[in-house]
Structure 1
Amino acid sequence: MNIFRIIEQLSEVDADVLGRFDSRRAVFKTLGTTAKRGALASAPVFLASLFQKAYGQGTKPTVIEVLNYAQTLELLEEDFYKKMVAAGQVPAGAPKGAIDLILKHETAHVKLLDTTIRALGGTPVTGVKFKTSAFPADYTTQLVVAQALEDTGVRAYKGQAGNLMGAMAGTTSLLQVALQIHSVEARHAAHIRTMRMQTPWIPAADSALAAPLGPVYTGAIPESNTTQSNVDITKLGAGYTANDAAASFDEILTMAEVLDASRAGGLVQP
């Protein structure tokens, strides 16, 4: 079996095949090592494993799917703030000014994503509304929901960063655009938390809060996580508590986690 020839032929129909495996050097280094160890007798098994690594990792969302996912969240936030303004419960002055400005930001995000998706030949998602029955009547609870939405958005954008690496719209990096929106969403989240007299960062204890907030901070990697890159942050030196370690880093939410009924998925009008 000529493994090198098989890969060469595959590259003729899939130009990214070596990128799927790893780097070109890593692939051939691995093959060379296999040969040196006299393991070529098991080459079919090795090749199957290699292809499983390249093509068996699950379906990666397309760029359009990622952008429409982001648009779904932006539309949800935009409609929530429209409802919040229309309800007339936001106090005049700084609170009203902040909510009005956040709404403008969300509308700008919606327009940018809509334009970008169309420019890439996609069809933007439309009609996403905040569930009427879930909209709070009082200002205090409206801020709670706003915090849940904003912190969800921050974790959601972070969760899709890897799927936008290298993606371009003309000469514009889509990852750069997403990060520009992500940073503003983080500012929204911090400001809303401050309006609620909370810390602008996320304490570990927030993962234990009641819905709608608690589920926002849980997930496969909860915001109470204290380990980064296999390093226990609490052991970096004296004075690092678990709360300090957790608050020092944000974690991702996957697309499935965000769209779950316990989080943003449960706030969309059917």
Structure 2
Amino acid sequence: MNLLKFIESFTNEQFLNSTGDRRQSLGQFGTIGKGLALASVPFGLSALGNKTFANDITATPATPIGALQLALTLEYLEKEFYETALASGVIPLSENGGRDRKVFEQIAQHEHDHVDFLIAGLGGTGSANFVAKPTFDFTVGGLFHPFDNYQEFLALAQAFEDTGVRAYKGQAGNLISTSDLLTAALQIHSVEARHASEVRRLRGLKGWISGNERGAGMPAATQPVYDGEEVTTQAGFNTANVNNGSAGPAIPAIAGSEAYDEPITTQKAVDIANIFIV
């Protein structure tokens, strides 16, 4: 058995919608425990000491373990954010006939499963590589009120999801030597991208990012999430110059930015997360 077999179950829609099956699978995770993770990951888990990076602006190491530690902290953030919002009642049952709440209930389930999976991948809570959940302040000292104002909740949800998409992409280089973990990270990345697109549409925006625009109603503090997305040159080719020639109208230059999503560095992802960490 290996991590890929488990990630397949965690991204299976039938699995995610079945409480009984999910509990049974999580129980199986607990039974196999640390031994499975050690056998599945082809590098020494004991090479790194216990690093609680979340309360420190220092980025995680540029290693597969460091990538998992960063991913786990971001997933902790999203999981707690959605669980708190659902418990607070800020998501109105009347919104879109109750569809909005169902969407966030499903997203919360995904984030919960991502957290459990990443903890197992790090060897469990007893591993030297495990990073504990930090204490979050989603109000940032009273600046935001996401659990009292639905629009503020949506704005922060957008920022968190867009950050997650770029952060997972930014860790690809650290996982390239570990194919199982790279595949697992890409599977989670694609789900995070669907979350981001859905949240943006709930806010009345396009499902993708245009240039480095954060979108209407987004606080200025979220701009670092979008800086760098305006890049149009890919592998030496300027995509802003693409057009249809004489066969049709020129493609807008902004499409060269919209067609590609840019990664963010480990340090930038940590800096964004630390805004919400006490």
Q: Using structure 2 for the length normalisation, give the TM-score.
A: 0.68
Which of the residues 118, 133, 136 maps onto 2:123?
A: 118
Task: Indicate the residue corresponding to 1:141 in structure 2.
Answer: 152
- By relative contact order (CA 8 Å, sep 6+), the higher-ranking structure is 2
Bigger Rg, structure 1 or 2: 1
- Matching residue within 226, 237, 244 for 1:217: 226
In structure 1, the residue matched to 2:201 is 194
Q: 3-state DSSP class of the match of 2:213?
A: helix
* Aligned CA distance change for structure 1 residues 102 and 202 (closer, same or farther; 3 Å): same
Aligned residues: 202
Distance 1:264 1:243 in 2: 28
Give the fraction of aligned pairs with identical amino acids, expressed as a percent. Answer: 38
Instruction: Note the C-alpha offset of 1:164.
Output: 0.4
Q: Which moved more, 1:230-239 or 1:67-76?
A: 230-239
Look up the equivalent residue of 1:109 and give its one-letter code: H
Decide whether the 8 Å contact of 1:76 with 1:130 is kept in 2: yes
Distance 1:163 1:122 in 2: 19
More helix by share: 1
The CA deviation string for residues 150-172 of structure 1, in whole angstroms up to 9 with x for no partner, is 0000000000011101216xxxx
- How much has 1:242 moved relative to structure 2? 2.7
Mapped to 1, the partners of 2:158 and 2:183 lie a distance apart of: 24
Residue 77 of structure 1 corresponds to 78
> Residue 123 of structure 2: SS of its match in structure 1?
helix
Structure 2 unmatched runs, 5+: 1-59, 245-249
- Which segment drifts farther, 236-245 or 137-146? 236-245
Instruction: Please state how far the C-alpha of 1:62 moved relative to its aligned partner.
Output: 2.3
- Of the three residues 152, 172, 183, the one matched with 1:176 is 183
* Partners of 1:113 and 1:107 in 2: CA distance: 10
SS of structure 2 residue aligned to 1:204: coil
Matched residue, 1:235: 241
Aligned: 1:166 with 2:167: no
Give the AA of the match of 1:248: A
* 1:8-47 matches, cutoff 5 A: none
CA RMSD of aligned residues (A): 2.0
Kindly state the Cα deviation for residue 68 of structure 1 after the two structures are TM-superposed: 0.6
1:122 to partner: Cα distance: 4.4
Distance 1:187 1:90, change over 3 A: same
Amino acid at match of 2:251: Y
SS across alignment from 2:131: coil
